[in-house]
Amino acid sequence: MLRLSVRHGRIGVVRVAVVPGPGRAGLLCPLDDHGGRAGVPIAVDDLAAAIRERERSAPDRGHSTGGGPIAGSAIRWVWFATAALYPALARADAVVARCHDISLTEALLRTRDAAARDGARGASAAGEPGEPASDAAWQRLLDYRPGPAEPGVGYPPDTTYPPDTTYRPNTTYPPDTTYRPNSSYRPDGGPIQPALFDPDQVGTQPPADPRAALDALIEVHASQVARIAADPHPARFALLAAAESAGALAAVEMSLAGLPWRADVHDSILTGMLGARPPAALGAASRLGGPQAAARPRRLTELAAQISAALGTRQPVNPDSPGQLTRALAAAGIRVSSTRLAALREVDHPAIAPLIEYKELARLHSAFGWAWLDTWVADGRFRPEYVVGGVVSGRWASRGGGALQIPRLLRRAVVADPGWVLVVADAAQLEPRVLAALAGDRAFAAAAAAGDLYNALAGHFGGDRAKAKVAMLSAMYGGAGGEAGQLLAVLRQRFPAAAGFVEAAAQAGQEGRTVRSALGRTCPPPSARWRALTEEASDPDSERDPQAGLALRARGRFTRNFVVQASAADWALVMLARLRARLTTIPAGADGRASVPELVFFQHDEVIVHCARSLADDVAAAVSQAAADATRLVFGPTPVVFPLTTAVVECYADAK
C-alpha cells in the first residue's frame, strides 16, 4: 500500500485525459504528475482506434503493486463517466486496463466533504455549504454534458431500459440519508447535490465544444488529485478511487458479455411451477377482470380459488392485495399483524398453505416470469446494467432486470456455453472477517484465521454455532431482540475490541457524525430533518418526540453497519479489480479459440467468470490471488484470512 504514489495511484502509470467528439473523433491530452497538461491536446479522428493503439504500444512493463505484473498498458485514461463513454469504446475493441472516472471520484470526494460542510453549517445556521474550489469547473463540466445519445452511440441498445418500463429511484431510504452518488433524489428536503451522472442525459454523443470540455475536465481532475492528496489517508483514498474506476470498467464489460442464460431452462422451470405460459393479455378486454386476470397462470388461478374457498368469502379475494387479504382473513377470524410470509406462517388455518404457495409463485411470476425473460434475455445472455457506487456503502446497484436479486432457484438457468465452465467464487463470511480486520481484535482475528468463523466462535457460546452467528449479526446490524442482547454481552466480554469498534461507529452516528470505510468511503451526513428532530428532542424544554429516539437509534444502526458493509465492499471491489487485471495475463487455451475468460457477474461478495474449461484452473488461481491482493491492499498485514469458496461448474445452481 505504501508503494502507491499519492499523486498517481501507481508509480510508472501515466494519465491521459479523454474527451469524445465530434463524431467518432476525440481529444487526448497527456497529464503530468499533478494533473496539469504535459503537452498540447491531440485531436484524433477515431477515438476508439487511438485508445486501442496506445493501450497496445504502452505496455505495463512489470510495474508491480506487489502482486506480480499486470498485463495491459501503463496508461490511466481520465474521462468524465465510464458508464457513458466506455460501452462504445469496449464494443469497438478499445478495452483499457485503467481509468480515472471523474464523476465517480467526484461523488466519493463530495460525500467525504459533505460531512465537513454539514458540520460547518451547524455552527452558522444560514451559511452556504462550502463548495470545493473546483466547483466552477465542475459546473462547467456538467454544462458540457452531451444531450441524449443517438441510437447505437450511447448505451448499447441491449442494456438500456426496456421500452415499457420507467426507472424510478428507490423510495425507501434510511431516515438520515440526504445524498446518494447516482441519484438526485431528495428524500426529506435535505441539501440536494448535483446529479453526477444521469444515464438519460449522458451519452457518448460528444459535447458541443470538446476543447472547452477538455479544459474543464483537466481542471476538475487536477482538483481531484489535490483533494485526494489532502485526505488523512491519501494512499487509501487513491486506491478507492482507482478501484471504483476499475469497477466501472468491469461493470460495462460484464454488461457487454452478459450472464449466460438458458431461456429454455428458465421456461421449463416456470411451466413446471406455474403451468403453461398464459396467452398474452389483450388490451382493454382483459382489464375488465383486472390487469392480471387474463395473465394469471393456471396454478395461481387454482390457488387463488382455494384461498377464497377456504376463507369462505362471497367475492373472490385477490391475494395480491394486502388490504383485501387482511379483511378476508379477519372475516374468517384470523388476525395478522401483516400479510407477510413470516406472519402467515404463525397461523393455523386451511387457507394459509395455499396462500403461502400463492405468494411464492406469484413473486416468481411477476418478478422473474416470462415477461422478464422476454425483456431481459436475448441471444442466450442476460445483460443487466450495473450501477457502480449506487449504494451508499459502495456496493453496486443494478437498473432493470433485478440483476442482484435473481432467485436462487433460477440459477439452474445459468449454464456455461458448450466446452466452457463457470468459475463461481464466493467470499465466505466476509463481513465478520472484515470486522475482525478493522477492529484489530486479536482474539477475534485468531478465530477468523480458521476456516469456518462461526465454528471457531462457537466455543465462546456454549459450543453453539448458531448462537455465535446471532451474536455476530446482532453486533454488525444493531439487533438486540430476543436472546441477542445476552449473546451480545458475551461477545462484548470475549471480543471487546470488535464490539467496541461497531459500538463506536453507532455512537458516532447517533451524534450526527459520519463514519468511513477502510479505504475512506464516507457515509452520508444526517439530513436536516433528522437534525431538527433530534436537536428538538435534546432540548429539555421541548416535548419529547418518540420519533426522535427512533431516528437516533436508526442512524446508529446505519453507521454501525456502514463501517462493516462498506469496508467489505472495499475489499470486494479491489478483489474484482485485481481479478480483472489478472485474467488478462492468462494465456489462451490449447483449444486455439480466442477464449479470453470473461467476468460475467458480480454480486457484493461473489463473482462469476465464464471461461473455456481448459482455463478453469488458471482462473481459479487468479481468483485466490486477487483475494490475497485485496486483503493486503485494503487491510495491510493482518492475521485475518478471507477465504473464497471457488467452484468450477457448468451450471450456477451446482456451485454450492
Q: Which of residues 263-322 bind DNA (CB under 7 A)?
A: 290-292, 318, 320-322
How far apart are alpha carbons 562 and 77 in whole angstroms?
31
Q: Is 67 in the site for DNA (CB under 7 A)?
A: no
Given 136, 230, 331, 341, the residue binding DNA (CB under 7 A): 341
Minimum CB–partner distance for residue 395 and DNA (Å): 7
Q: Is 177 in the site for DNA (CB under 7 A)?
A: yes
Minimum CB–partner distance for residue 552 and DNA (Å): 12
- Label the pairing between strands 42-44 and 75-79: unpaired
Minimum CB–partner distance for residue 104 and DNA (Å): 15
Minimum CB–partner distance for residue 212 and DNA (Å): 33
> C-alpha cell of 633?
491492499
Minimum CB–partner distance for residue 116 and DNA (Å): 21
C-beta of 216 vs 392, nearer to DNA: 392
DSSP state of 527: P
Contact flags string 465-484 toward DNA, x per CB under 7 A: -x--xx--xx--xxx-xxxx
C-beta of 534 vs 565, nearer to DNA: 565
Q: Is 169 in the site for DNA (CB under 7 A)?
A: yes
- Among the candidate windows 25-33, 43-51, 82-90, 341-349, which touches DNA by CB under 7 A? 341-349
Angle between helix 102-123 and 234-257 (nearest 10) = 130
Minimum CB–partner distance for residue 644 and DNA (Å): 12
C-beta of 407 vs 636, nearer to DNA: 407
- Among the candidate windows 60-68, 169-177, 266-274, 432-440, which touches DNA by CB under 7 A? 169-177
Residues 552-571 that bind DNA (CB under 7 A): 554, 557-558, 561-562, 565
How far apart are alpha carbons 300 and 288 in whole angstroms?
19
Minimum CB–partner distance for residue 336 and DNA (Å): 8
Hunting for cell 466476509 — which residue is that?
430
Please name the amino acid found at residue 587.
Answer: P
Minimum CB–partner distance for residue 172 and DNA (Å): 6
Minimum CB–partner distance for residue 400 and DNA (Å): 4
Residues 604-633 that bind DNA (CB under 7 A): 604-606
Q: Is 179 in the site for DNA (CB under 7 A)?
A: no
CA distances from 306 to 300, 324, 353, 649 (A): 10, 15, 10, 41
Q: Is 330 in the site for DNA (CB under 7 A)?
A: no
Residues 370-409 that bind DNA (CB under 7 A): 372, 387, 390-393, 395, 397-402, 404-409
Q: Is 166 in the site for DNA (CB under 7 A)?
A: yes
DSSP state of 382: E
Residues 500-529 that bind DNA (CB under 7 A): none
How far apart are alpha carbons 340 and 92 in whole angstroms?
48
> C-alpha cell of 239?
486506491
Asked if 651 and 447 count as a contact pair (C-beta separation under 8 A), the reply is: no
How far apart are alpha carbons 184 and 290 in whole angstroms?
35
C-beta of 217 vs 475, nearer to DNA: 475
Q: Is 339 in the site for DNA (CB under 7 A)?
A: yes
Distance of CA 219 to the CA centre of its chain: 29
Size of the site for DNA (CB under 7 A): 74
Minimum CB–partner distance for residue 366 and DNA (Å): 4
C-beta of 176 vs 629, nearer to DNA: 176
Integer-rounded Cα Rg, in Å, for the chain is 26
Minimum CB–partner distance for residue 26 and DNA (Å): 31
How far apart are alpha carbons 298 and 292 in whole angstroms?
12
| Burial class, 163, CB count within 10 angstroms (exposed 0-12 / middle 13-18 / buried 19+) | exposed
C-beta of 290 vs 636, nearer to DNA: 290
Q: Is 100 in the site for DNA (CB under 7 A)?
A: no
- CA angle (61 as vertex; 55, 62 as ends), nearest 5: 125
Q: Is 536 in the site for DNA (CB under 7 A)?
A: no
- b/e map of 322-356 (b: 16 or more CB within 10 Å)? eebbbebbeeeebebeebeeeebeeeeeebbebbe
Minimum CB–partner distance for residue 550 and DNA (Å): 10
Contact flags string 408-437 toward DNA, x per CB under 7 A: xx----------------------------
Instruction: Specify the 3-state DSSP secondary structure of 259.
Output: strand
Phi, psi of 183 (to 5 degrees): -135, 140
Contacts 24+ apart (CB under 8 A), 29-36: 29/214, 29/218, 31/78, 31/218, 31/221, 33/7, 33/8, 34/7, 34/222, 34/225, 34/226, 35/7, 35/218, 35/221, 35/222, 35/224, 35/225, 35/226, 36/218, 36/222
C-beta of 46 vs 320, nearer to DNA: 320
C-beta of 7 vs 553, nearer to DNA: 553
C-beta of 374 vs 417, nearer to DNA: 374
Q: Who contacts 259 (Cβ-Cβ below 8 Å, separation ≥6)?
A: 381, 382, 383, 384, 414, 600, 601, 608
C-beta of 124 vs 315, nearer to DNA: 315
